Amino acid sequence: MKKIKLTKAKIITGILVVILLAAGYLTIYYYRDLIFGPSVLFIKDDNIEINLYPNEFQMAFVFTIDDAHKLTNPQKVRNVVDILNKFNVKGVFFVIPYYKGRYKLTNGDEITTVLRQITKEGHEIGQHGLTHSLPRKKLKIFNLTKEFVDLPYGEQKRRIYVGKKILEEAGFQINGFRSPAFSANYNTLKILDSYDFLYGANVAILPPPFMMANKRFAESIYYPFHPADLNLIEFISHGDYFRTYFNAKNFLVIKKRFKKIYDKQGIFLLVTHIESLNSTHGLALLNTTLEYVATKNVWKPNLIELALWWKGREALFAESEIDNNILKIVLKKGNEFELNGLTIKFKKGVKADDYEIIDDDGSVIKKGKIIEKVVTINY
């Protein structure tokens, strides 16, 4: 047998190849959206283009905040909400139902009263695990907040059920879930789907230089997706820029990340935490960030609104043809979700003077002149 002589150059080359292959394997999902675009049935054809978001918005921006619980000072919630309301931003507060297994949220808590008040202002309450801590038998030196890590299916199901029940008894309707410290696995998502949660926000993209995601679920960094064949819609959560750094560079990082997503018409899901955000620097950074967002053509819904819209938008299909100088656009709804503010743009050079928008039953929704260029309908 002929011996293979390994030179230093060959060894180095081999190591580099392994590194490159590993890097490709770990980051390949990042290119899914760059290659295929948004995961919707229809965007455009030769005559029309249908916007991803309502009312001609370029992208969606969602503010989320974690870790409110029974012991949280209600004023800290108001501090954040006052800034959100100033810029017409709807926030999603992920609340811990039974903090550390000792402090159970109840209907009579002062924090509960404040959280109910802000829902009347358009903000949303989501579920953030059950206790936000590992079971005692699972205690480790690190990652004590990763509540769902390595938990069996049955225990995960119990915790999600009990937490949801506590929040509902406190007066909240729960549609969304974020696992503590992004500790969910596929079993977590299957359980959420079985309990008819509308969405999850369990996958994290960390700030540079740690921009790695949970490989098990992450299919996209610009748009939401359905894990495997689940009905549940999962949103990518972007990093908490408010907890680690409090300096001018942090805003520049947020701005750079925002611009990248804005250019791709994606969704920027900002992650914050109630305690770390409630500092002079944290609230100032939030104000500066939202002041910048306000200068852009951005939709600012809560996650329930965004999830309901996206479910309708991803299943929408359209066909267009020109018949006797009329551009006929047939919309086909794939489900029961409403698309109020659906925006249709006519491309330049369309060889027709008039248009008709028709639903899949053959009824005319709207008609007019191509010269309008853009039409918005409720569908």
Q: Are residues 162 and 95 located together in one domain of the fold?
A: yes
Of 242, 263, 296, the residue that ends a domain is 296
Question: How many residues are listed for the chain in this entry?
Answer: 379
Residue 101 has pLDDT above 80, yes or no: yes
Q: Which domain range does residue 336 map to?
A: 37-51+311-378
Distance CA 366, CA 128 (A): 43
Q: How would residue 322 be classed by pLDDT, with cut points 50, 70 and 90? A: very high
Q: Are residues 67 and 121 located together in one domain of the fold?
A: yes
Which residue do the tokens 């925006």 mark? 343
Residue 114 lies in a domain: yes
- What does DSSP assign to residue 207? P
Residue 10 lies in a domain: no
Of 270, 296, 322, the residue that ends a domain is 296
Residue 87 lies in a domain: yes
Residue 177 lies in a domain: yes
Q: Are residues 201 and 106 located together in one domain of the fold?
A: yes
Of 296, 326, 358, the residue that ends a domain is 296
Residue 304 lies in a domain: no
Residue 13 lies in a domain: no
Over pLDDT 70: what percentage of the chain? Answer: 83
Residue 320 lies in a domain: yes
Average pLDDT over residues 201-214: 61
Q: Are residues 155 and 223 located together in one domain of the fold?
A: yes
Residue 368: which of 357, 354, 379 has the closest Cα? Answer: 354
Domains held by the chain: number: 2
Q: Are residues 204 and 317 located together in one domain of the fold?
A: no
CATH of the domain at 135: 3.20.20.370
134-164, pLDDT tens digit by residue? 776 555 555 677 888 889 999 999 999 999 9
Q: Are residues 315 and 286 located together in one domain of the fold?
A: no
Q: Are residues 46 and 87 located together in one domain of the fold?
A: no
Most confident of the ranges 23-27, 110-114, 225-229: 110-114
Q: Are residues 131 and 177 located together in one domain of the fold?
A: yes
Residue 121: which of 157, 153, 85 has the closest Cα? Answer: 85
Q: Are residues 42 and 89 located together in one domain of the fold?
A: no
Amino acid (1-letter code) at residue 180: P
267's enclosing H/E stretch is strand 267-273
Q: Are residues 46 and 110 located together in one domain of the fold?
A: no
Task: Please name every residue paired with 102 in a beta bridge, in sequence order, or none if there are none.
Answer: none
- What does DSSP assign to residue 239? P
Q: Are residues 44 and 135 located together in one domain of the fold?
A: no
Overall pTM > 0.75: yes
Q: Quick one: pLDDT at residue 142?
A: 53
Distance CA 266, CA 222 (A): 5
Residue 105 backbone dihedrals phi, psi, to 5 degrees: -65, 135
The verdict on whether omega for the bond into residue 224 sits within 30 degrees of 0, i.e. cis, is: no
Residue 110 lies in a domain: yes
Q: Are residues 273 and 339 located together in one domain of the fold?
A: no
37-96, pLDDT tens digit by residue? 888 999 999 999 999 999 999 999 999 999 999 999 999 999 999 999 999 999 999 999
Q: Quick one: pLDDT at residue 212?
A: 46
